[in-house]
Amino acid sequence: MIIDAHHHLWRPERGYRWLDEPGLAPIRRPFTPEDLRAELATAGVDGTVLVEGGRCHPDEVAEFLGYAADTEPILGVVAWIDVAGGGVPATVARYRRLRGGDLLVGVRSQVQGEPDPDYLDRPEVRRGLAQIGAAGLVFDLVIRADQLPSAARAARAVPGLRFALDHLGKPRIDEGAAGLRRWRDGFAALAANGNVTCKLSGMVTEAGPGWTVDALRPFVAVAVEEFGVGRLMFGSDWPVCLLVADYAGVCTALREALPRLPEAGRREIFAGTAVRTYGLTERVPGGDHGGPAGVRNS
């Protein structure tokens, strides 16, 4: 079994203004559950987690939870929330009343868009994070590499919250050894917190159009060293990945970039960690609980 812990869907006309940026024409079109099903069938992926796509509007949450209710492979939704705006408990309660609300597994703010590298240290943000933890949800960290130290402090300050780091914290893979050097210490500081998991996602995009598996390997090796296989999970970041690679190509790239691991370790990365992190035990196809014994080698 393979679970994709990070992908998106969108219809640009509904407010995804970031898609107007130069260079994004290849993904400036609708991506629907029907498109997703076709990609999953081609790549041999069994289930997914649908993550908010930068629209930053409650209407997207209702749409995505509805998609999940109607689309069997979508096992859970990470919805948008204003972590610093106040009213987190009321917002979560409202989301859970929506159709498909039982498939809400996490929330995310666009922290990467905040100029302040210490944004996650702000009292109003910490308060919101604590409330998300109390609600039993995961908080996805979509952050830049310079925000990793602040994320590490937040993880220590809110031990009751499960964090999932998206895209390894967006290291500059395209800069090779220099990018690795600037990213590694902050990444290791975040990994030192046991309430944080990490998605092996978004790497081909950070590596750029000329990416190679060799360029990914040092970053993947650090992730395995710092987090261990039990806190790492595969994410395609489709359709953003289409800027440089197709869905199946991203799956293959991760398999090839991983260091030599026991079969059980690969099972964790390609399914088990996502099942545990997002509480997908009752939702995985065929009743598989995502543990090593029930997942084929990927």
Express each pLDDT in 22-75 by its tens digit: 999 999 999 999 999 999 999 999 999 999 999 999 999 999 999 999 999 999
Q: CB neighbours of 97 closer than 8 A, spacing ≥ 6?
A: none
SS3 50: strand
Total of domains in the chain: 1
CATH code assigned at 144 = 3.20.20.140
Amino acid letter for position 173: I
Structure tokens at 226: 């710092």
Q: Is the pLDDT reported for residue 77 higher than 80?
A: yes
Residue 21, both tokens: 């940026």
Domain hosting 228: range is 3-294
Q: Is the pLDDT of residue 236 over 70?
A: yes
Q: Where are the alpha helices (DSSP H) in 142-245?
A: 148-157, 176-191, 203-207, 213-227
Contact indicator for 160, 137 with CB cutoff of 8 Å: no
Angle at 75 between CA 18 and CA 199, to 5 degrees: 60
Confidence label for 286 from pLDDT (cuts 50, 70 and 90): low
CA 72 to chain centre: 19
pLDDT at position 297, please? 25
- Rg of the chain on CA atoms, in Å: 18
Decide if pLDDT at 291 tops 60. Answer: no
N-terminal to C-terminal alpha carbon distance within the chain? 8
44 dihedral zone (left: phi>0; alpha: psi -120 to 50; beta): left
* Per-residue pLDDT at 282: 77
Measure the CA dihedral 265/182/113/14, to 10°: -50
CA dihedral 195, 201, 203, 204 (to 10 degrees): 180
What is the rounded average pLDDT of the residues 83-101? 97
Q: Is the pTM for the entire model greater than 0.75? A: yes
Tokens representing 18 are: 């970031």
